[in-house]
A and B are shown apart, each in its own frame.
Chain A
Amino acid sequence: MAELNIQELERRFQEKIDNDIRIEPNDWMPERYRQTLIRQISQHAHSEIVGMLPEGNWITRAPNLRRKAVLLAKVQDEAGHGLYLYSATETLGADREETIDDLHSGKAKYSSIFNYPTLSWADMGAVGWLVDGAAIMNQVPLCRCSYGPYARAMVRVCKEESFHQRQGFEIMMKLAAGSEEQKAMAQDALNRFWWPALMMFGPPDADSKHTAQSMAWKIKRNTNDELRQQMVDITVPQAEMIGLTIPDPDLKWNEEKGGYDFGEIDWDEFWNVVKGNGPCNKERVEARRKAKENGEWVREAANAYAAKQKMKKAS
């Protein structure tokens, strides 16, 4: 085949995208498309893995065996999500361990929501309901992402996420219908997680430097503000239904736009947490780093065992 110049390759690439033809690992793709995906998918993978920590915190203290089994299954799913996503980055030529080391060195980011502490059992409810709820809202459009392996991973993830949100909502619902103390606990969890959950959709569209290109490449299908609005509109009635109050005095139904108006998000807080100064950033990264270090001998031993078995078979 004749060598094509880069403009022609890029033109054909964009034509495929415009025609909704998925891009697969060995297809030609612009280097920036590859790098954007590696960054986004590895950040997503890190979020799933770091996201296990705030909930793992409560597994041994779940109030009963049913809740414990459910939480354990949920956290195990998150490990699975991380693995699907690391695999997807590998199809782009990224080195899995390198991307993980980037997390540990602070070079790579993960969702800032996981830098908030989980202080009470009610937080397991708020996390499932709001954090997994926001994640689902982000991930559903990613099922149609232009990059095949990412889109396929998202289809699996979304199927599994729906129970995550339901189990969280169930916890909130039970607490909200319980004693005064239990209801107060649920309200306190909602108060602490509401705003960080809205921040999960990322900076406002006006300040989001990657959005335009990502939408042209169909990596992203909706803007941050669109998804955030959707989240508010869906969640407010759910809170009302179980008798909890959204901690936003400016929250008001806007008949004209058919959605809620809501208060100003504290973007200084968001950027501060992204930069590493949230309540738990150090603890989270440290926990991941230790996990890798402490697991080193296991990986070595498994390799040694595999090599020995191979030799035995050969002789």
Chain B
Amino acid sequence: MANNEWPLWEVFIRSKQGLSHKHVGSLRAADAEMAVENARDVYTRRSEGISIWVVESNNVHASHPTEADSLFEPAHSKVYRHPTFYDVPDGIEHM
């Protein structure tokens, strides 16, 4: 039976012009065309979207949670990347 199972797809929906596609969930479908059609029925029954992306789940490569510390730690120590790091004297405007 298991080999008849359709592959898993991740679904991304653009809710309106000007916004990026956002992950909404996943579904099973035999091919990309069917995945788009199923996504239409499963995730946009109330006009939630105007554009759909589907990506086969095994094509998604993710960072691993146990590596989160080493991956993201370097950014934590670089507070000077934020404007709030800098002192701006009173009276200076438009900066």
A interface with B by C-beta (< 8 Å): 1, 24, 26-28, 76-77, 80, 83-84, 87, 90-91, 95-97, 101, 152-153, 160, 296, 299-300, 302-303, 305-306, 309-310
Is B64 an interface position by the 8 A CB rule?
yes
Q: Interface SS of chain A: helix, strand, loop or mixed? A: helix
A153–B25 touching, CB < 8 Å:
yes
B27–A87 touching, CB < 8 Å:
yes
Q: Which of A83, A299, A310 contacts B42 (CB 8 A)?
A: A83
A303–B4 touching, CB < 8 Å:
yes
Is B30 an interface position by the 8 A CB rule?
yes
A1–B69 touching, CB < 8 Å:
yes
* Residues of chain B at interface, number, CB under 8 A: 24
Which partner residue on chain B sits nearest A304 by CB separation? B30
Query: Given the interface contacts A80-B42, A83-B27, does A302 sit within 8 Å of B65 by beta carbon?
Result: no
Query: Given the interface contacts A1-B69, A97-B5, A302-B30, does A26 sit within 8 Å of B25 by beta carbon?
Result: no
A27–B65 touching, CB < 8 Å:
yes
Which partner residue on chain B sits nearest A298 by CB separation? B30
Q: Which of A26, A160, A310 contacts B65 (CB 8 A)?
A: A26
Query: Given the interface contacts A28-B65, A83-B27, does A303 sit within 8 Å of B42 by beta carbon?
Result: no
A84–B25 touching, CB < 8 Å:
yes
Complex-state Cα separation, A310 to B34, whole angstroms: 14
Considering the complex of A and B, which 3 residue pairs feature the smallest CB-CB distances, nearest first?
A302-B30, A306-B31, A306-B30
A76–B69 touching, CB < 8 Å:
no
Query: Given the interface contacts A296-B4, A299-B6, A300-B4, does A96 sit within 8 Å of B28 by beta carbon?
Result: yes
Q: What is the distance, in angstroms, from B3's C-beta to the closest C-beta of chain A?
A: 9
B6–A80 touching, CB < 8 Å:
no
Complex-state Cα separation, A96 to B27, whole angstroms: 11
Which partner residue on chain B sits nearest A76 by CB separation? B45
Q: What are some 22 contacts across the A-B interface (CB < 8 A)?
A: A1-B69, A1-B70, A26-B65, A76-B45, A77-B45, A80-B41, A80-B42, A83-B42, A84-B42, A87-B27, A90-B8, A91-B26, A97-B1, A97-B5, A153-B25, A160-B46, A302-B31, A302-B34, A303-B6, A305-B31, A306-B30, A306-B34
